[in-house]
Structure 1
Amino acid sequence: MTTTKPNMHAVAINPATWPRQTYFYYFTKIAPSGFSLTVNMDITATLAWTKAHHVKFNAVYLYLVSRLLTTHPEMRIGYLNDQLVTFDVLHPSYTILHANRTMANLWTTYDTDFETFYQHYLADQAEFSALPGPMPKTPQTPNLVNIGCLPGVHFSSYTPLPFKPLDSFFPIFQAGQFKKDADKTIMPLSITVNHATIDGDHLSRFFNELQSCWEQPTQYLA
């Protein structure tokens, strides 16, 4: 099967005119740092929508996060040919579990239309999910964002610990196991970011906007 070519278009950042430049320098050269924030998200309406439409929730999760990222340029900053750029979109990279309990990493080309994205997702599952190894689908673009899930545990905090400096400023997402709370279904979601490009205010707005997406699935998925 032919893989849909991912959009990797990006706009170069000019340090001389970039409003973030002094902060970027400070948080990369003087005080390199990042942080994680975990928030409980009410996914009740969206989960019900996926069941009613017989759609896999993980695909909806990947799509909604990727779609919201298109409205947050500070979360799409990375390197392309050693040039700092802002990508138009980020394509979700995620893990799957093999029958022998080993994991593998897949990625799916993002599309603004959910049904198109969903067909891409199903095609990737069919073609690559049974293949052995940690990376059965070779990455073909630098603008992949980690949008993971730990469905076996409901956590209150999650922080990935890289053992070498990262060359990316993309956020890292990790969702946890669903939990019932009265008539609501709650999913923890952790976002880990590099402070060079993302502040707490950015994360606050992102979480609030994502919660709105969960509450209005037909507006984004139908």
Structure 2
Amino acid sequence: MKTDFHAIDLEKWPRAQTYNYFTETVSTLIYSINVTMDVAILRNTLKSKDLKFFPAYLYLVTRAIRRQQEFLMAIQDDMLGYWDCRTPFYPILHDDDKTITFLWTEYDENFEVFYKNYLSDMAQHGKIHGIMSSKGAPPSNNYIIACVPWFTFNSLSMHLQNAKNYYAPLFEAGGFTETNGITTMPLSITVNHAAVDGYHLKVLLEELQRTMNHPEEWL
């Protein structure tokens, strides 16, 4: 999917003072939130259609952040701006030696297209070892999204070094928990406060949960 970078006019941008505060006065403030997502409807629907959960997770998170400029921000050529969308950049685990390789799949608004592209990337590059996949480095609009399905967690924090100009969000999901027919999944989101405030996270999480509860909208 073609994506463009759009420069922000700091003279007209409503968050300019907030951005300047967290880049100049505070220098850098990275923070993580941890929430619990209800994935019962999503998981059952995917199972009924024999579809994998992980690419659906990649798709829904990428779809949600595409709708909010705050999660698309970046600096290109010393200019602050935002992308049209982001590319999920995710680790895969090799069963033989338990090492990971980072792979990426270009986002497409059509889930069926994205899902097929994910399967194609896994088939072509998923078994080749090395920290960076044989597909090569991801495009500049990438963001890191991962899952540790082997255990659940109550809290997880990412600590980024030299993150002054890094505005891409980071997502980490955990293993499922099933209680009385309800399936939940922990989700940790790490953001740069210069780009994202708590309200923006609230809007993102509401949209993400809504699409998880209504897969008929995009399947």
TM-score range for the pair, normalised by the shorter chain length = over 0.9
The 5 A counterparts of 1:48-63 are: 48-63=44-59
Show CA shifts across 1:96-123 (max 9, x none).
Answer: 0012100111110000000000111001
Which residue number corresponds to residue 3 of structure 1? Answer: none
Which residue number corresponds to residue 210 of structure 2? Answer: 212
Which residue number corresponds to residue 19 of structure 2? Answer: 24
The 5 A counterparts of 1:64-213 are: 64-99=60-95, 100-136=97-133, 137-213=135-211
Shift of 1:160: 1.1
Q: Is the 1:8–1:142 Cα contact (8 Å) retained in structure 2? A: no
Q: Distance in 1 between matches of 2:138 and 2:174?
A: 28
Which of 9, 18, 22 is equivalent to 2:4? 9
SS in 1 for 2:81: strand
Q: Is the 2:30–2:160 Cα contact (8 Å) retained in structure 1? A: no
Cα 1:143/1:25, change in 2 over 3 Å: same
TM-score by length of 1: 0.94
Shift of 1:208: 1.6
Number of paired residues? Answer: 216
Q: Distance in 2 between matches of 1:132 and 1:26?
A: 42
Show CA shifts across 1:129-166 (max 9, x none).
Answer: 11110111312410001111111110011111123335
Q: Is the 2:7–2:81 Cα contact (8 Å) retained in structure 1? A: yes
Moved over 4 A (4+): none
Q: Percent identity?
A: 36
SS in 1 for 2:183: strand
Q: CA RMSD in A?
A: 1.2
Gaps of 5+ in 2: none
Gaps of 5+ in 1: 1-5
SS in 1 for 2:37: strand
SS in 2 for 1:202: helix
Shift of 1:87: 0.4
SS in 2 for 1:48: helix
> Which range moved further: 162-171 or 152-161?
162-171
Residue type of the partner of 1:105?
A: F
Q: Distance in 1 between matches of 2:137 and 2:74?
A: 16
